[in-house]
């Protein structure tokens, strides 16, 4: 254990976050997402699990360490409801609340059609699969910059 790091963040999750740079994408998904297949095509190349966490819990822990990109209009993407692009499911509002709280501001979230989401996920740095049963619990977070004071 380390001080100040959420106990749900494994050494591998922290390692992935440390390897990522500004503008890299991180997918957080539910158990229905074809995560293992898509993860093989990411930069990291393998799936990372956060077993026992739902999506908001995993995102809250991750965003306690990782800033979202403030240089793009929408640093969070989500999957559209298939057949109903304007459809809304409860996880959308739950995730919106988590990212807004983590950033201390309203964060824009864009919706991507299912296959566009899969294509974007393949270009991501890594995929973290949660134990969330979904549906539509698929989000891409774009990493921002940590502005550290000079020593």
- Give the residue numbers marked as catalytic: 22, 69, 118
Sequence-distant (6+) residues with CB within 8 A of 17 are 26, 62, 65, 66, 143
| CA-based nearest residue to 146, from 70, 57, 76 | 70
CA 73 – CA 95 distance, rounded (Å): 17
The helix, strand and coil proportions of the chain, stated in percent and rounded to the nearest 5, come to 30, 20, 50
């Amino acid at each position: 254990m380390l001080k100040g790091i959420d106990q749900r963040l494994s050494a591998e999750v922290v390692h992935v976050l440390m390897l990522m740079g500004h503008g890299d994408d991180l997918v957080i998904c539910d158990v229905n997402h074809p995560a293992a297949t898509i993860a093989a095509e990411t930069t990291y190349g393998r799936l990372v699990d956060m077993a026992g966490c739902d999506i908001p819990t995993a995102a809250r822990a991750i965003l306690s360490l990782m800033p979202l990109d403030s240089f793009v209009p929408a640093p969070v993407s989500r999957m559209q409801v298939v057949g109903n692009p304007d459809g809304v499911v409860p996880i959308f509002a739950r995730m919106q609340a988590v990212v807004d709280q983590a950033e201390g501001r309203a964060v824009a979230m864009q919706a991507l059609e299912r296959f566009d989401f899969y294509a974007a996920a393949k270009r991501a740095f890594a995929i973290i699969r949660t134990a969330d049963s979904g549906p539509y619990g698929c989000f891409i977070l774009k990493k921002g910059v940590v502005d550290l004071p000079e020593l």
